[in-house]
Amino acid sequence: MIRSFCADASRHAGEDPIGWASFDETLILIECPPPWSANKFESKAAPASLISLVDQFDEVEASLRVLLIYGEALQQHTRLIIFRQKSELSNGYCKQEAQFSDIDAAVQNLPNYLADSTLGADATPTRDILVCTHGSHDRCCGKYGYPFYRQAAAIVHDLGLANVRVWQSSHFGGHRFAPTILDFPDGRCYGRLTPETFISILTRQGDIQALKNVYRGWGILAGSEYPIAAQVMERELMLQHGWDWFNYKVAYRIVEESADRVFSRVELTVAQPNGSLHCYQADVVEDESRVLHIIGDCHGEVEKLPHRVVKNLVEV
């Protein structure tokens, strides 16, 4: 039996990764050593209390995601990290962080930290890079994700970036773009990374155009259909403004949208560090000539994967 790898199919088809970052208002990261089962909550080191708690979240929280993470070695404590999306004009997420004696204690205290956003909010500022290595969920994240995690950790060490932490992570979507990462606290998502593009992302230096083929989108921008129109437009502005764009805050709204979602008029309001505000509008439309029919994941069937482009981008 020939094994199919969705990341190979996507790469060979020339699929554009933009617009495929999932929207999450709150992300919960819990240290838990691998191996992880295909369903991460059934992993050997994951307590039953975590499964019951997640079931409660599913009933009341529409945009909350729990991820398992793991660093270089087992620690004497278990770390709990919560990222909450900032409201209105935003440049990413606020962090809460705490350490507990074990994973059971972390899970037991999690509801208190969700109920009080001030708990753990005074934690040392860090940049947290999550690399999906969840090979039991999708084999591309094992084939491409874990080797890249080792590369990324070595790069951060060699560059002497003491405030940057690289984590293995359970599945957060987009395995066909493996190796794929989430970059916090800004919450941007990237895929098909190489050491060279990763260094550019870390240092925010080099040719910004290199991000065009690896940027999946910004997790603070939501949409009703993938690829997400606001994320497609945001990439266009990022490529025009260069690395300064990463210092800006944004808010967005959908001005107009067709019933079939093939057309969206998106508005992005941008706040620069000097206090100036700029407003942009653009039409984001489906390009039928670039629609693909490939497998969306290693275990899936061939499916339609649309492509969206930006037209009529103007400052208003």
The closest of 16, 7, 37, 40 to 296, measured between CA atoms, is 7
Report if residue 206 sits inside a domain: yes
* Beta-carbon count within 10 A of 39 CB: 13
Q: Which residues contact 48 (CB under 8 A, 6 or more apart)?
A: none
In three-state secondary structure terms, 145 is helix
Q: Which residues contact 71 (CB under 8 A, 6 or more apart)?
A: 31, 165, 166, 167, 168
Report if residue 49 sits inside a domain: yes
Digitized pLDDT (tens) for each residue of the chain, 316 residues in all? 456 799 999 999 999 999 999 999 999 999 999 999 999 999 999 999 998 888 888 766 668 999 999 997 667 899 999 999 998 899 999 999 999 999 999 999 999 999 999 999 998 999 999 999 998 888 899 999 999 999 999 999 999 999 999 999 999 999 899 999 999 999 999 999 999 999 999 999 999 999 999 999 999 999 988 999 999 999 999 999 999 999 999 999 999 999 998 999 999 999 999 999 999 999 999 999 999 999 888 877 898 999 999 999 999 9
Report if residue 201 sits inside a domain: yes
Query: CA 90 → CA 21, 84, 93, 250, 264, distances in Å?
Result: 17, 11, 8, 5, 22
Residue 88 pLDDT: 86
H helices present in the chain, as ranges: 6-13, 48-60, 103-115, 139-140, 146-159, 195-203, 229-241
Report if residue 193 sits inside a domain: yes
Report if residue 111 sits inside a domain: yes
The closest of 253, 316, 228 to 280, measured between CA atoms, is 316
Please count the structural domains in the chain.
1
Helix axes 103-115, 48-60, angle to 10 degrees: 20
Q: What is the DSSP letter of 90?
A: B
Report if residue 304 sits inside a domain: no
Range of the domain at 11: 1-222
Which domain CATH number covers 109? 3.40.30.10
Q: What is the DSSP letter of 242?
A: G
Query: CA 116 → CA 95, 112, 164, 263, 316, distances in Å?
Result: 12, 6, 26, 40, 39
Report if residue 315 sits inside a domain: no
Report if residue 140 sits inside a domain: yes
Q: Which residues contact 26 (CB under 8 A, 6 or more apart)?
A: 61, 63, 64, 65, 82, 83, 84, 85, 114
What element of type H or E holds 169?
strand 164-169
